[in-house]
Structure 1
Amino acid sequence: MRSAEVSAKISRHLERLRGWLAAGLGHPRVSAVTVREITAWRDHLAAAGGRRKDGGAVAMAPATVNNHLAHASALFSWISAHAPAALLPGGDPTKRVEPLRLPAPEVRALNAAQVRTVKNVLDRLESFHHLTGRRHRSGGRSSTHRHARPLRDRAIVHTMLGTGLRRAEIAGLDLAQLEPHEPDQLRRVKKAKLSGVRGKGRTSRSVFLGLDACTALADYLEHERGRDATADSAALFLAASSIAARRPDGRLSPRSINTIVAEIGAIHDLQIASDDRRLGRLRPHDLRHTFAYLLSQASGHNRAELERRLGHANERYLKLYTNPPEEIAAGYVEDL
């Protein structure tokens, strides 16, 4: 019932547990796993469970450590239900291991000035990918790098900024979910939407698209997507066909969405002189926070509308998403 990506993540997490046990005990037999071992594994992940690009150890985020614990707990719950009682004489060793306390969520919504300059960069995104030199110009028009897909990247960011979709939800979109999906109709229609968006917890929802997203999607579908599509390409957003390591169906991975958004953030900051508009590292969830805050303002903080559009009912995160950016919050105090 799980996607291939989620199954692969669970396998990686359990393989880390197997490696930890084998290194510490000399074998990975589940009958030897105790509360002490699971606790030590949790603490190891929190201190040095991650890896930098150079291969060095780095601390894992508490949420990632807790995700590992959840997958280990699911494994031992399955073992407890199906294996002989003698296999785990002490019972499920994960039940008495407390997850790490999560830090207070950080508000990442962009302020109005940042949203304006991000959209300005998106309007000019093609120009940043042009190759320089006379030999790259034909008919007065500059060519772009063969892997570059500026119209796709522009459409992705406008869609995230205008719908609050998560990166995995963006990567999982199919062309058939876009209504309508003909470029000329997208430019004319008053109500375009993405139907059946698959979210966390096997939820499904529909989201409406604004003018910016519709225009950007129409441009991408008309001028770029056809270059990368094959008969098996159901995904809305496709990786460049010139990339040898792309998936057989061409679908972008969630990590690719991270890279695309971060690169646009880097271009933005190179164009901006004032420090108060700089983004630092732009992440997909920053766009989700921005959408949620603007939706909260526009809907009068309507909880039902926020749950429906964000696909999230957790009170903790609804409060986070709807907190104002620091500049706006500071303005409240200044006016008192």
Structure 2
Amino acid sequence: MLGLSDGLDPADDSLTTWIERYLDLAVRGVRSAEVAAKIARHLDRFAGWIADGLGHDRLSAVTVREVTAWRDHLATAGNTGRDGTTAPMAAATVNNHLAHLSALFTWICAHAPAQLLHHGDPTKKVPPLPLPAPQPRALTAAQVRTVKNIVDRIETFHELKGRRHRGAGKERLHAHARPLRDRAIVYLLFGTGLRRAEVVGLDLDQLEAADPAALRQAKAARLRDVRGKGRTSRTVFLSRDARQALADYLELERPSDAAASTGPSALFLSAASIAARRPNGRLSPRSINTILGEIGHLHDAQTPDPSRKLGLLRPHDARHTFAFQLSQASGHNRAELERRLGHANDRYLRLYTNPPDDIAASYIEDL
């Protein structure tokens, strides 16, 4: 092949071949199946970009200019819809593509013949896109009040309607509905700042006290050894609302679902009537998004005041709200924030404790 150093096989200069080698030797079986699939997808996009733009996939032809052009392409038209239309890709997603490409070329530089990449790693001089300043999503006190009002009445929204469902002895709720569980999850999120993965990872034996009667009377109930990011663990104390809601769920809803479960005893369980649920009944992280999203929808449908509308209610909105309230209650005690949020990163602590704009605006209203 013209331009290829002596002693090198043309296959050594194939970007596609090197991507497959990298995936087989350094990614698949090392990273989770989900992450490996994402890395392969990102690298295939780059290989396709090179082949379409240059008419070949020679690895030695990949330059800083090509990597920069790919980055800018993703930022302006990286997403393609089903109808063929394109849209910009978020800066964080573009940077994730660049990170995977950089890891590929770092591996290639360590394993490829020295004369293959004459100019070294082409990703080293391509800076990531600047990220927009993170925006806090803490709810206002008025919004928290109306959310709790909806959650306290959540059973009424799951009742079966119509004449045929009336009468003694008839089932009042939809078969899959678990309003007491959903209420307990909402109060737990707003009262502890737990992440969604931390919530679904909870086991019943982490709760002190786990007996409903004792939980209602306790003044310092807690969750032990809550597993967070980076293999960290922490103790989480439960608010009064969370204690009462958990006691109701443990007494009235959970036993029937637990009877159909096997394996480790998860704190929160899917309805036993769901055919596709896991054998141990444990909820998935995505189910927490669904629960919060439905409650946000109910909230906005029941709330005529535009200033209280939530739009999409997400689990991290509850985390931001808890962090902001804890910051105020603790006198902005950094050590307490680190301990309760499971975060030591200054950037995230500042994000979680920033007030939303309407609260910040009230600070200077009368100055």
Normalised by the length of structure 1, the TM-score is 0.86
Indicate the SS of the match to 2:32.
helix
Aligned-partner Cα distance in 2 for 1:236–1:65: 37
Indicate the SS of the match to 1:239.
coil
Where do 1:22-171 residues align within 5 Å? 22-26=47-51, 34-50=63-79, 58-81=87-110, 85=114, 90-139=119-168, 143-171=172-200
Aligned counterpart, 1:14: 39
Aligned-partner Cα distance in 1 for 2:205–2:190: 21
Deviation of 1:197 (Å): 1.8
Deviates more, 1:257-266 or 1:230-239: 230-239
Seen in structure 2, the aligned counterparts of structure 1 residues 45 and 271 have a Cα distance that, compared at 3 Å, is same
Deviation of 1:223 (Å): 2.2
Aligned residues: 333
* Pairing 1:321–2:352 present: yes
Aligned counterpart, 1:190: 219
Aligned counterpart, 2:307: 276
Aligned counterpart, 2:333: 302
User: What letter corresponds to residue 272 of structure 2 in structure 1?
Assistant: S
* Pairing 1:202–2:231 present: yes
Deviation of 1:14 (Å): 1.0
**Percent identical residues:** 67
Aligned counterpart, 2:23: none
Seen in structure 2, the aligned counterparts of structure 1 residues 96 and 299 have a Cα distance that, compared at 3 Å, is same
Indicate the SS of the match to 1:334.
coil
RMSD, matched Cα:
3.0
* Pairing 1:245–2:276 present: yes
Deviation of 1:240 (Å): 2.5
Gaps of 5+ in 2: 1-28
User: What letter corresponds to residue 297 of structure 2 in structure 1?
Assistant: A
Deviates more, 1:175-184 or 1:308-317: 175-184
Aligned counterpart, 1:180: 209
Deviates more, 1:95-104 or 1:290-299: 95-104
User: What letter corresponds to residue 319 of structure 1 in structure 2?
Assistant: R
Deviation of 1:156 (Å): 1.2
User: What letter corresponds to residue 161 of structure 2 in structure 1?
Assistant: T
In 2, are the aligned partners of 1:13 and 1:68 still within 8 Å (CA)?
no
Q: Deviations over 1:274-308 (max 9, x none)?
A: 11111121111111111011000000001111111
Aligned-partner Cα distance in 2 for 1:34–1:181: 60
Deviates more, 1:254-263 or 1:110-119: 254-263
Seen in structure 2, the aligned counterparts of structure 1 residues 144 and 331 have a Cα distance that, compared at 3 Å, is same
Aligned-partner Cα distance in 2 for 1:52–1:327: 35
Deviates more, 1:53-62 or 1:66-75: 53-62
Seen in structure 2, the aligned counterparts of structure 1 residues 101 and 126 have a Cα distance that, compared at 3 Å, is same
Deviation of 1:177 (Å): 2.1
Seen in structure 2, the aligned counterparts of structure 1 residues 262 and 44 have a Cα distance that, compared at 3 Å, is farther
In 2, are the aligned partners of 1:76 and 1:92 still within 8 Å (CA)?
yes
Aligned-partner Cα distance in 2 for 1:221–1:268: 25
Indicate the SS of the match to 1:135.
helix
Deviation of 1:50 (Å): 4.7
